[in-house]
Structure 1
């Protein structure tokens, strides 16, 4: 197990975040990218058949094709998230050994994949094209704990954010506030999305969390962070994953979490993609009760 060094663990515990370099290989990430390319192509061809787009941009790269298609028809991005299209390659990646070796260094060997997880396609934005990027293109300051239910307050839920292309200042990486996680939960409000109440926003110099493809930004659930604008000419693809200790509240009990690593109860591991899809379909069919946002 490669995992993290003692120095990296201390940095995470002290600062509330860590950029772990070169955790994942091309072989780890390429199946996910290939699957996304197939899904983009499927959606593009369906919209082409409906006359909603006129150019499939088949020769464009993974980093550029989605933006070209989105410019013709934003509908191509509708429901394009991990828990919407439920791809097998993404499901397999959630239990990737290189990834879980890092998770285990912080949470131990009994691990559950948290159901709060996202695929992000941050599109290029140029001044003058629109007034400003929308919420999901430029997420404001927030803590991930703000979108979990109160029963998970004692759960150690850790965010593992990883880019599928290099996340730089130009492509729209994150900014994080070091050491602020020690303050615990800060009050949030809904303002086109969930964001920290301005009066509670600490006066701390943020860190630009540039992160190469294959590396991971790891964050405490109380670490304030935000997205920055993608001013490049490519799409900044990323996965936003969370893990917690097996058996602990997930913060989203209406959605399925599942065991991804266990030395004590290996029979609990979920390896059947069809079962994972069934669990999510059942969750969609159940009516959600109450708000999960602590505003």
Structure 2
């Protein structure tokens, strides 16, 4: 899968690009099943500890986790890619279609960046299922992804690849982006209210709704301001956000593991074993006590 010249120019001009049908629903199903299995393990443990009264085994993937989370928010503790390091997630990091697109923008020496997340945006208060998600699950404030990297990676071209596991729409809580603003470079951020661009520094630019179907991608420059909007549906807006950079460049998280996913000069350097990947993470500092945001 390759980007057209028109798509590359659009990305380079606007600082973001939506690419549809990167991974088929069939390709994503093992990832979804792996996430569901992790939810099962966590729910069964909490049920045995008396912290859950109902397991909601018959609820679909798009709804079950919210019902469990409302009973016991502890189920979400450490629930992230680095928190369970599954085989299917690893395969997605190295997915050929995905890496083909990365190569169109970064060249053939590519590493997977350690800043990678699994996100569950729960239905907002007053949504159809009556759930009451905390505010921090909802309106993620305007920010640039470079704000969660170390300053010594300023020269590194780190690109975000955001993929929803359900259709990301205005109703389910897709992102909004500010086109063209990446050309301004890093904008000062503050920690108050969540890592966010200092309000006085926020450009007065009309945002664009970045709706994105399941298995498609929103590709973003690290300086592109974006935010998440409320999920007004009755399902969880599951998504995975990954980042890639040129091998040898500073990753912005030097204490966490990057690894080569493609190389034309040294094919033997490409990591293909998820067990090695897991070992890298488990041997890393994992950010404990380390500053990971610029503010």
Which TM class, normalised by the smaller chain length? over 0.9
CA apart distance, 1:71: 1.3
CA apart distance, 1:46: 1.0
Q: Matched residues in 1 for 2:90 and 2:23: separation?
A: 16
Gaps of 5+ in 1: none
Q: What is the SS of the residue equivalent to 2:156?
A: coil
Is the contact between residue 133 and residue 229 of structure 1 (CA under 8 Å) also seen in structure 2? no
User: How many residue pairs are counted as aligned between the two chains?
Assistant: 293
Is the contact between residue 125 and residue 133 of structure 2 (CA under 8 Å) also seen in structure 1? no
Alpha-carbon deviations, 1:134-157, whole Å to 9, x = none? 334321000000111111111100
Gaps of 5+ in 2: none
What residue number does 1:41 align with? 40
- Cα gap change, 1:288/1:70 in structure 2, threshold over 3 Å: closer, same or farther? closer
Q: Matched residues in 2 for 1:113 and 1:222: separation?
A: 19
Is the contact between residue 135 and residue 192 of structure 1 (CA under 8 Å) also seen in structure 2? no
Q: Matched residues in 1 for 2:58 and 2:292: separation?
A: 42
Q: Matched residues in 1 for 2:251 and 2:55: separation?
A: 40
CA apart distance, 1:182: 0.6
Q: Matched residues in 1 for 2:133 and 2:275: separation?
A: 40
Q: Does residue 60 in structure 1 map to residue 59 in structure 2?
A: yes
Alpha-carbon deviations, 1:183-219, whole Å to 9, x = none? 0110001014210001100000000100000110000
What residue number does 1:219 align with? 220
Q: Does residue 200 in structure 1 map to residue 191 in structure 2?
A: no
What does residue range 102-141 of structure 1 map to in structure 2 within 5 Å? 102-127=101-126, 133-141=134-142
What residue number does 1:210 align with? 211
CA apart distance, 1:47: 1.1
Alpha-carbon deviations, 1:40-72, whole Å to 9, x = none? 111111111111112111111110111111111
What residue number does 1:237 align with? 238
CA apart distance, 1:273: 1.4
Is the contact between residue 152 and residue 251 of structure 1 (CA under 8 Å) also seen in structure 2? yes
Alpha-carbon deviations, 1:210-253, whole Å to 9, x = none? 00001100000000000000111000000010000111110110
Q: Matched residues in 2 for 1:206 and 1:166: separation?
A: 20
What does residue range 138-157 of structure 1 map to in structure 2 within 5 Å? 138-157=139-158
- Cα gap change, 1:142/1:36 in structure 2, threshold over 3 Å: closer, same or farther? same
What residue number does 1:294 align with? 294
CA apart distance, 1:275: 1.5
What does residue range 138-287 of structure 1 map to in structure 2 within 5 Å? 138-284=139-285
Q: Matched residues in 2 for 1:122 and 1:213: separation?
A: 15
Q: Matched residues in 1 for 2:27 and 2:172: separation?
A: 22
123-132 vs 258-267, which moves further: 123-132
Is the contact between residue 123 and residue 131 of structure 2 (CA under 8 Å) also seen in structure 1? no
Q: Does residue 93 in structure 1 map to residue 92 in structure 2?
A: yes
Q: Matched residues in 2 for 1:132 and 1:233: separation?
A: 11
